[in-house]
Amino acid sequence: MIQLSICLPTRNRQKYCIETIRALAQSEVTNFEVIVGDNSDDASVLSGFFSDDFQDPRFRLIGPEDRVLPMVDNWERLVGETKGRWLCVIGDDDYIDPKLVLLLKYYERIYPKAESISWARMNFSWPDNRPDPGLSVIPVAHDTYLAVKSIVQDQLYRWSQGNKRPSVGFGIYHGAVRKSLMERIKRKYGGRYFEHPVVDYESSCKIIREAKMLVHCQRPFSVLGACAASNSAGTKSRKTMAERVKAFKAEAEGKVDMDDPVFPFPISDPGASICASIASTTSWFCRTYGIDLTGFPENFARAAMDELSGTVIEEDFMLKKAYFERGFDAWEGGKWRDCFQPAPFWGNRSTNEMCGVLKNYLYVREDVTPSQTPAEFYRFAEATIMPIEHVTSGARTFSR
């Protein structure tokens, strides 16, 4: 029986995808599968790799269709091909530990109603995405928590924390979801698993609404990679980001429009940020499916101010500030404009790059470790975190 299906969508980043495939194939775990959804312009690279250089029955390749698919449709077709009890999606420049199957089996025994599992994640920049060495983050705790659904929903739907990113964590992207839950979602939400172009957060909206139980493990099981061609890398350059947003919108034509007239913070604006794109997604979902948004406008204003407080370059600060001001002026006739009162920019500065441990996180300079890929970084980090076998043993004390 296949315990875990890992979906690996990719588009024109074949060299990173191949590295990720090779890393996953090194695992001795047998009861998982990897489904690679190639949406690239050149199908020959991955098809040639699978036919000539790579033979592993745990992996399947689904090639490009006769047109470029929106990302949401590429995800859709992959989930439809899965055979596992649990499903997960990662990026082609990421990594996930197939030993996650041990955690899933463990939670199935002690939390039989669990339908969505989240865990801590590591962050890693590929060597081609390090203009200046930053910090990689390794979570070092390992406890398990049962989430209160009402609190998690409040954090995502209404942004109750007021942070630039809602800290939810539950979803199919770098999270595990029961296949049975995804099928229920498909039946309830218009015959599709996914609808919105910002597919990861839209999926989280549905999953935290429908899951019977949400379980979180503090131990990390995956790495969020960022290569030079990634969207996160694109945010470091306004020109690059504008080009990628334009391509994203063109590929998603016919789907939900991210330039939403009801929530007037368009992603095509030069001052747009990830904060606004997430808010646009959650706002669309709640309006579409009748979820109470009381408190969302005030909390989003706090989130926008939090976004600005972390902006370290004055030109970027002023661009984002003007963007948010235009949005709040237009939103419901300026009803929420007074809620947006950001502090002045307080100087060009760099982020803290000191290594060390702070609040269950180990911070390591990217130029200190020899890691060249997310998988190598994960193996480096395993020396600092609890072995998975101990986490799933149920024991509370350990000795060497």
pLDDT of residue 198: 94
d(CA 317, CA 119): 32
Banded model confidence at residue 74, pLDDT cuts 50, 70, 90: very high
CA atoms within 13 A on the CB side of 146: 10
Per-residue buried b or exposed e for 62-81, using 16+ beta carbons within 10 Å of the residue's own CB: bebeeebbbbbbbbbbbbee
| Block residue for tokens 């920019």 | 345
| Block residue for tokens 């499903």 | 87
Task: Say if CB 35 and CB 62 are below 8 A apart.
Answer: yes
Q: Which residue has the higher pLDDT, 239 or 189?
A: 189
**Is the four-CA dihedral 330, 334, 336, 338 of positive or negative sign?**
positive
Beta strands in 248-339 (DSSP E): none
Whole-number CA gyration radius for the chain: 21
Note the pLDDT tens digit of each residue in 353-390.
Answer: 678 888 899 988 887 777 899 999 999 999 999 999 99
Compute the average pLDDT of residues 151-159: 96
Strand, coil or helix: 359: coil
Banded model confidence at residue 352, pLDDT cuts 50, 70, 90: low
d(CA 180, CA 85): 8
Percent of the chain with pLDDT over 90: 77
Note the pLDDT tens digit of each residue in 205-256.
Answer: 999 999 999 999 999 999 999 998 876 654 555 666 666 667 666 666 677 7
pLDDT of residue 349: 64
d(CA 267, CA 274): 8
Q: Which residue has the higher pLDDT, 183 or 232?
A: 183
Note the pLDDT tens digit of each residue in 258-275.
Answer: 888 899 999 889 899 889
| CB atoms inside a 10 Å sphere around CB 360 | 13
Helix 199-210 crosses helix 149-157 at what angle (to 10 degrees)? 150
Note the pLDDT tens digit of each residue in 27-46.
Answer: 999 999 999 999 999 999 99
- Cα–chain center distance at 393: 28
Beta strands in the chain (DSSP E): 4-10, 32-38, 59-62, 86-89, 95-96, 116-125, 135-139, 144-146, 176-178, 214-226, 356-358, 361-365
pTM comes to 0.93
d(CA 359, CA 290): 38
Banded model confidence at residue 94, pLDDT cuts 50, 70, 90: very high
Weakest-pLDDT range from 83-87, 177-181, 309-313: 309-313
State residue 5 phi and psi, 5-degree precision: -105, 120
pLDDT at 351 over 90: no
State residue 148 phi and psi, 5-degree precision: -90, 115
Note the pLDDT tens digit of each residue in 264-319.
Answer: 999 889 899 889 999 999 999 999 999 999 999 999 999 999 999 989 889 999 99
CB neighbour list of residue 72: distance below 8 Å, 6 or more residues apart: 194, 195, 196, 197, 199, 202, 252, 255
Strand, coil or helix: 136: strand
231, 317, 320, 346 from 313: Cα distances, Å: 19, 6, 11, 10
pLDDT at 133 over 90: no
The domain limits of the chain are 231-339
Count of residues making up the chain: 400
d(CA 39, CA 51): 18
Integer distance in angstroms from the first to the last C-alpha of the chain?
Answer: 34
| Block residue for tokens 């803290």 | 352
pLDDT of residue 365: 85
Compute the average pLDDT of residues 198-208: 97
- Cα–chain center distance at 113: 24
Banded model confidence at residue 143, pLDDT cuts 50, 70, 90: very high
pLDDT of residue 394: 72
* Tokens at 72, concatenated: 């949401």
